[in-house]
Structure 1
Amino acid sequence: MKFRPLMFSVFLYLSLTSVVAEGATLCVNTQGTDRCYNSISEAVAAAGVNDVIHIGAGTYRESVTITKPVSLVGQHAVIDASGLSRGIFVNGMAAPGLAQVHISGLTVLNANFEGILVANASAVTISDSIIANNNHSLSGATCPGIEAFEPGEQNDCGEGIHLLGADHAIVTHNQVHGNSGGILLSDDTGPTHDNLVSLNTVTDNPFACGIVLASHVPAAVSGSAQSLGVFHNTIWKNFSSGNGVKVDGGAGIGIFASVPGAASYGNVIIENVLTRSGHPGIALHAHAPNQKLNDNMLVGNGIADNGADTADAATPGSTGINVFSVVPATGNIISENTIQQETNDVAVNNSSLVQVEFNNLVGHGAGVKNLGTGPVDATLNFWGCEAGPAARGSGCSTVDDPNILFAPWLSSIAPLDPKF
């Protein structure tokens, strides 16, 4: 899958939206000439509500904090945040109600923590940008110097792009590579919901997942003792490859509830391509009592050549999708995916209302691996053979547990288009 530019012009979009709420146009260049500022931070400080800041070509060595509705539009502009906390921090904690910040056309490099952090803000867009080689503070499992409002990010320094307590954000058409992890949605400071992550190329982020939706211990600033939830987010048509391949690693896409009370539910993972992950292509984990890992939909994804899950969620070999929960996880739908080159196409350890239906399970290993004791509904799948699941070694995907319900099955491959 190739990285594709937006089909519409950012400049056209900005000109159309200016009819609704006019703002001034400011400019930045590295020399500060032609009535332009010579740093992005200076321009942001001078900008009014809904102003548009055009950033000229060159490298800007700074960390930019945004607390007002503005648009940053780069033209071959690089933010080098070497030795600094973040490249861009959209800080709604310092500006309650912050919304409608737009970031496009920038390359953000070398920050100690996130390349771009969006915290407690709404309707933020991040598009057509390159986010690379951030999370430099990571030292083993810790992230020295990261603030107390990010208690859940010690293992990855917040990844390349982080939506933290954010809602209705759009993260689209970005290239995210060489960070600890790729794109993170978490609820440390507030609920994270109704966001769209689409059409991004997320590759070679070695220590964590390509894209992860994780419910964490709430930070003290949230005012809550209970996790606030990661829900109703859509992850659509992203390409994730080569992520999480180092020690402790990660999945192509992860949906996680990490502590008692955590809640990751009602999310949609649709039409992504997920390959060469250190852990499964998609992993759903709930590790403790009183967690909510319900009603997630995994639909139309192309999954191949990933790794095994580990620790308490371990799978016996490489796995396309792993659903692990120590409590009932109900209403999760796995449908219309094409899974190949895996030892286990789908692994399930807690089968409470998990539907595995209308998939192409063509990995030629275990089409569905039941790691629990209850029944798994795996009807109406294609198992690589017209005659349905067969004995191991036949070239067809297999079923080796009487609690897996596989009949009826599809006699030919489902007409899906995973775009490997």
Structure 2
Amino acid sequence: MRKRHIKCLVGITVTTATAWGAAVVPSSAAAPGDPQVVRPGGSIQKAVNAAGPGDTIFILPGTYRESVLITKPGLTLVGIGGRTVIVPATTKPKAANTCAADGNGICVVGTKTKTVNDVHIRSLTLSGFKKSGIWASWTDGLTVRRVTSRNNGTWGIAQERSTRGDFRRNTVTGNGDAGIFIANSVSEEGGATDTRGTEIRNNTLSGNRIGVTARRVRNLLIDGNRISGNCSGVFVVGDESKPAAGAMTISGNRILGNNKFCAATPRLSAIQGSGIVLTGSEATVVRSNVIRDNVGSTPLSGGILLFKSFVGALNTDNTITRNVVQDNKPADLANGDTSGTGNTFVSNECGTSVPAGMCAE
């Protein structure tokens, strides 16, 4: 089957996929270039190992007890939504599968000199992994869509050292840290990296520690997400390194009632009732969000908060405009970083601000 036909099959409906899969030879017998099909009792990892760059792997309904390591470009994994479930293996992972050894569900991993490009993960569920549901490092053009990632120990979906990621229409709940986590690196310090337009759009994020964390990165979009029931909605984290975090847009999100309490960590104070928090950010635009009912009594509580980072980095040249920010406590808008310069609050519909006078009249 030619690759143009494979691409057409990626968008098939659940009904068609199930019927089609029943008539296709098992993945172990698939001809080169044909889509691989994994059935219950089969191994997704074996199908990945057998696939060539650009191939598609369909995963039929069932529960798969394994972790999947992807190091080839252009692969597409397609499940059947909530009926295709990947959970941790019950046996000790093989040493070669570093994804399993690190406690992750699906890993897409390249290197500094050779990124893994254009991998697509669609319509499946990951649950109960010690670290992350999906982990990506040194990737370009990774897309994750209509994936459910729930009840993982650290992150639901995480990406570091990567560019042009696209995360849309995912449901990410009950994870120990961020639902979606974008970072320059988790293993070393350093200035913010350019994600070259990574997009986080139209996801549902609830019951995590933080809905979305953007840590020491630049040039990304967080748009149209529904974020509720976390300790904090969106958290932009910078430090004293250069370039600074920021140059991003946070727009069109509904950030409601993020009032779960999360205790302090060695890096961060307790969090509760935080809508959007900027720490050490520059040139970030926060616009046209609806932020309501985020209530807490921690230093980071409130609707939209500028806060000097815990290593002393200031917020500079950020624009907060045309947001509806209501019924957040202790304040709808709070500039707790008065040493920062060039930060503007314009045309926001709100009731309370610290200092006073930042709400539109």
Instruction: Give the shorter-chain TM-score range.
Output: 0.7 to 0.9
Paired with 1:227 and 1:379, the residues of 2 have a C-alpha distance of 27
Within the candidate set 379, 394, 398, 2:346 is matched to 379
Residue in 1 aligned with 2:213? Answer: 254
SS at match of 1:14: helix
Residue identity in the other structure for 1:281 = G
C-alpha distance 13-358 of structure 1, shift in aligned 2 (>3 A): farther
Within the candidate set 68, 81, 85, 2:52 is matched to 68
Paired with 2:182 and 2:292, the residues of 1 have a C-alpha distance of 24
Identical amino acids, percent of aligned pairs: 17
2:174 aligned with 1:204: yes
Q: For residue 267 of structure 1, report the CA deviation from its aligned partner.
A: 0.7
Deviations along 1:35-72, one digit per CA (max 9) or x if unpaired, are: 944xx6x46xx763x4301223x233674454732211
C-alpha distance 302-228 of structure 1, shift in aligned 2 (>3 A): closer
C-alpha distance 75-322 of structure 1, shift in aligned 2 (>3 A): same
C-alpha distance 110-226 of structure 1, shift in aligned 2 (>3 A): same
Residue identity in the other structure for 1:283 = F
Ranges of 4+ aligned residues in structure 1 off by more than 6 Å: none
2:355 aligned with 1:401: yes
Residue in 1 aligned with 2:221? Answer: 268
Corresponding residue pairs, total: 305
Deviations along 1:200-257, one digit per CA (max 9) or x if unpaired, are: 111112x1100010111668xxxxx98865442000000000012xxxxxx1000012
RMSD (CA atoms): 3.1
Paired with 2:78 and 2:207, the residues of 1 have a C-alpha distance of 25
C-alpha distance 271-227 of structure 1, shift in aligned 2 (>3 A): closer
Paired with 1:61 and 1:169, the residues of 2 have a C-alpha distance of 22
Residues 334 and 356 of structure 1 are in contact (CA less than 8 Å); yes or no, is this contact kept in structure 2? yes
Query: Higher strand share goes to which structure?
Result: 2
Structure 2 stretches of 5 or more lacking a match?
A: 11-20, 90-99, 111-115, 296-301, 308-313
Q: For residue 379 of structure 1, report the CA deviation from its aligned partner.
A: 1.2
Residue in 2 aligned with 1:320? Answer: 275
Residue in 2 aligned with 1:89? Answer: 69
Residues 169 and 194 of structure 1 are in contact (CA less than 8 Å); yes or no, is this contact kept in structure 2? yes
Structure 1 stretches of 5 or more lacking a match?
A: 1-11, 19-28, 82-86, 93-97, 136-156, 220-224, 245-250, 258-263, 384-396, 412-420
Residues 60 and 77 of structure 1 are in contact (CA less than 8 Å); yes or no, is this contact kept in structure 2? no
Scaled by the length of structure 1, what TM-score is found? 0.65
Paired with 1:116 and 1:53, the residues of 2 have a C-alpha distance of 17
Residues 59 and 80 of structure 1 are in contact (CA less than 8 Å); yes or no, is this contact kept in structure 2? no
Describe how 1:163-182 pairs up with structure 2 within 5 A.
163-180=136-153, 181-182=155-156
C-alpha distance 284-364 of structure 1, shift in aligned 2 (>3 A): closer
Scaled by the length of structure 2, what TM-score is found? 0.75
Paired with 1:35 and 1:367, the residues of 2 have a C-alpha distance of 57
Deviations along 1:306-329, one digit per CA (max 9) or x if unpaired, are: 25785665488521001012xxx3
Describe how 1:38-53 pairs up with structure 2 within 5 A.
42=28, 48=32, 50-53=33-36
